[in-house]
Chains A and B, each alone.
Chain A
Amino acid sequence: MFSSSSSPPWLRTVSLGVGAILASVFAFILFSALAALLRGVEWEFFGAVWSPREEKFGLLPMIYGSLILSFSALALGWVLSLGCCCTLRGLGPRWLAKILLTSLRFMTAIPTVVYGFAAVFLLVPVIRSAFGGSGFSWLAAAVMLALQGVPAMTLTMDGALQSIEEQTSLTAAALGLTPVQHLTWVVLPASKKWLLSSALLGYGRALGDTLLPIMLAGNAPQFAASPLESLRTLTAHIGLTLSTGAGGGERSSLLLAGGLLLVNSMIVSLTARALAGRGPAA
Chain B
Amino acid sequence: MRKREMSLLLLSRLSALLVLGVLGGLLAFLISRGGPVLGKELFFGDTPPLEALLGLRPVWNGLWPAVAGTLFLLLLTMAFAVLPGIGCGVYLSCFASPREKYWLSLAVDLLAGIPSIVMGLFGFLLIIFLRRTLLPRGSTGMLLAAFCLALLVLPSLIVATRSSLEALPDSLLLAAEALGFSRGQTLRHVLLPAAGQGILGGVMLALGRAAEDTAVIMLTGAVASAGLPGGLTSKFEALPFAIYYTAAQYADRAELDRGYGAALVLLCLSGGLLFLSWRLQRNLERRWKGVR
Interface residues of A (CB under 8 A from B): 1-4, 6-8, 10-12, 14-19, 21-23, 25-26, 28-29, 32, 79-87, 91-92, 96, 99-100, 103-118, 120-122, 147, 150, 180-181, 183-185, 188, 204, 207-211, 214-215, 235, 238-239, 242-243, 254-255, 258, 261-262, 265-266, 268-270, 272-273
B215 touches A210 (CB 8 A): yes
B114 touches A243 (CB 8 A): no
A261 touches B248 (CB 8 A): no
A255 and B117 CA atoms in complex are apart in Å by: 12
Cβ of B115 under 8 Å from chain A: yes
Instruction: Chain B residues near A17: list those with CB within 8 A.
Output: 84
A233 and B33 CA atoms in complex are apart in Å by: 30
A89 and B212 CA atoms in complex are apart in Å by: 31
Cβ of B109 under 8 Å from chain A: yes
Q: How extensive is the interface on chain B, given as a class?
A: 35 or more
A109 touches B113 (CB 8 A): no
Q: Are A3 and B95 also in contact (CB < 8 A) when A96-B16, A180-B9, A262-B118 are?
A: yes
Select one of B22, B103, B110, B183 contacting A147, CB under 8 A: B22
Interface residues of B (CB under 8 A from A): 1-2, 4-5, 8-9, 11-16, 18-20, 22-23, 25-26, 29-30, 33, 83-85, 87-88, 90-97, 100, 103-104, 106-122, 124-126, 129, 151, 154, 158, 173, 183-184, 208, 211-212, 214-215, 218-219, 240, 243-244, 246-248, 259-260, 263, 266-267, 270-271, 273-275, 278
A181 and B107 CA atoms in complex are apart in Å by: 41
Question: SS class of chain A's interface: helix, strand, loop or mixed?
Answer: helix
A109 touches B9 (CB 8 A): no
B244 touches A207 (CB 8 A): no
A7 touches B12 (CB 8 A): no
Q: 17 additional contacts, CB 8 Å, given A7-B91, A7-B95, A22-B108?
A: A4-B96, A32-B125, A92-B12, A99-B20, A100-B16, A109-B208, A109-B274, A113-B243, A113-B266, A117-B243, A117-B263, A147-B19, A180-B5, A185-B4, A210-B214, A235-B115, A243-B219
